Structure 1
Amino acid sequence: MIFLKRGFEIVSKYVKKGLRLPVRATQNAAGYDFYVAEDFVIPSIWKLKFIKILWKLATQKKIEKNEQVAAQKVLKPFLVPTGIKAYMQPNEFLLLANRSSNPLKRSLVLPNGVGIVDADYYNNPNNEGEIFFQLINFGIHDLCLKKGERVGQGIFVPFLLADGEEKVIKKRTGGFGSSGR
């Protein structure tokens, strides 16, 4: 029997779609490059009434409820599918980070700076543990990411527990974002 420590697999719905598993670009690279699973359009934040809302915020004028909804919609990050899941040890997580060229060349940012994939996200019942990159396009134009383009990187990281921490009994019950509800 082979004991697997950490690595990547393709989620079942993408098995026959010709996806690439994440790889490191160089011998000393820490991050594994992730690729887009299918063509995906990320709209520009400058759509809808975003500029009008920014102006009202800057001049401290009242923002209407429908404008608040429009601003929240346009500033919502988009979940770019990778078709990949990661397995790892219980004391590890996968840190998702932006590629250094994304903000400069493609105007893409991760809204919270990084993503965290916990070990118990793997094979969860909601989405099989598929990894998505949350991205916002602050460029002027919509951006179409093509299947197979590099979208971000993942780094396996060990973590430590605080002294005296009680064993957590709660088990993951869902997919993306489920541990924070």
Structure 2
Amino acid sequence: MKRRREMKVTRVRDVKLPTRGTSQSAGIDFYVPNTFKERSIGPGHKAFIPSGIKANVPPGHALIAFNKSGVALKKGLFVGACVVDEDYQGEIHLHVVNVGTEAVVIEPGEKLVQLVLVPVFYDTIEEVSQEALFSETTDRGAGGFGSTGNF
């Protein structure tokens, strides 16, 4: 069963509306505005690009940005931090980092980043003693970063 939810958006610049690659794509593709001045990003450098879109994120949700696999593979551009909370009412910006070895050009109209609408739980934070934190001990314990043999 497909769950469908409506998310209202408005354009604040000349830009293509966000799209889905297919009806079952989790990610919503965001584009570089048509009025964006072409920019080169050097290796190891980052860019903060306006999306031209404001979104009314549904209650109990957030938009989280992820790499477009083709953009990451072909251009070496990876998404930086980007969480759009339901109470944010400004223009969404796209944060990308060039992890490649050559400069990359970002052009107007190109598909750059995908955002996924995810449910959010607003749990309260309660401080407890270390002894009271976990009700039982797990096999993994505090092991991380390859502790299960994958690193």
With the length of structure 2 as denominator, give the TM-score of the two structures: 0.69
Q: Which residue identity does 1:132 align to in structure 2? A: H
Find out whether 1:31 has 2:27 as its counterpart.
yes
**Equivalent pair of 1:94/1:156 in contact (CA under 8 Å):** yes
The equivalent of 2:84 in structure 1 is 117
Q: Which residue identity does 2:19 align to in structure 1? A: V
3-state SS of paired residue (1:121):
coil
| Aligned-pair CA distance for 1:89 | 2.4
Q: Deviations over 1:33-78 (max 9, x none)?
A: 1000124424212xxxxxxxxxxxxxxxxxxxxxxxxxxxx64x31
Change (3 A) 1:164 1:101: closer
Q: Which residue identity does 1:20 align to in structure 2? A: K
Task: Name the structure with the higher helix share.
Answer: 1
Within a 5 Å distance, the mapping from 1:97-136 to structure 2 comes to 97-112=66-81, 115-122=82-89, 129-136=90-97
**Equivalent pair of 2:65/2:79 in contact (CA under 8 Å):** no
Within a 5 Å distance, the mapping from 1:69-84 to structure 2 comes to 75=45, 77-84=46-53
In 1, the alpha carbon distance for the partners of 2:99 and 2:20 equals 27
Q: Which residue identity does 1:6 align to in structure 2? A: M
In 1, the alpha carbon distance for the partners of 2:125 and 2:76 equals 44
The equivalent of 1:69 in structure 2 is none
3-state SS of paired residue (1:120):
coil
In 1, the alpha carbon distance for the partners of 2:105 and 2:60 equals 36
Change (3 A) 1:120 1:140: same
The equivalent of 1:158 in structure 2 is 119
**Equivalent pair of 1:10/1:85 in contact (CA under 8 Å):** yes
- Percent identity over paired residues: 32
Q: Which residue identity does 1:98 align to in structure 2? A: N
In 1, the alpha carbon distance for the partners of 2:86 and 2:111 equals 23
In 1, the alpha carbon distance for the partners of 2:56 and 2:83 equals 13
Find out whether 1:95 has 2:82 as its counterpart.
no
With the length of structure 1 as denominator, give the TM-score of the two structures: 0.59
Within a 5 Å distance, the mapping from 1:5-20 to structure 2 comes to 5-11=6-12, 14=13, 17=14, 19-20=15-16
In 1, the alpha carbon distance for the partners of 2:97 and 2:40 equals 7
**Equivalent pair of 2:76/2:98 in contact (CA under 8 Å):** yes
One of 105, 110, 118 as aligned partner of 1:144: 105
3-state SS of paired residue (1:96):
strand
Structure 2: gaps spanning 5 or more residues: 127-151
Instruction: State how many pairs are aligned.
Output: 120
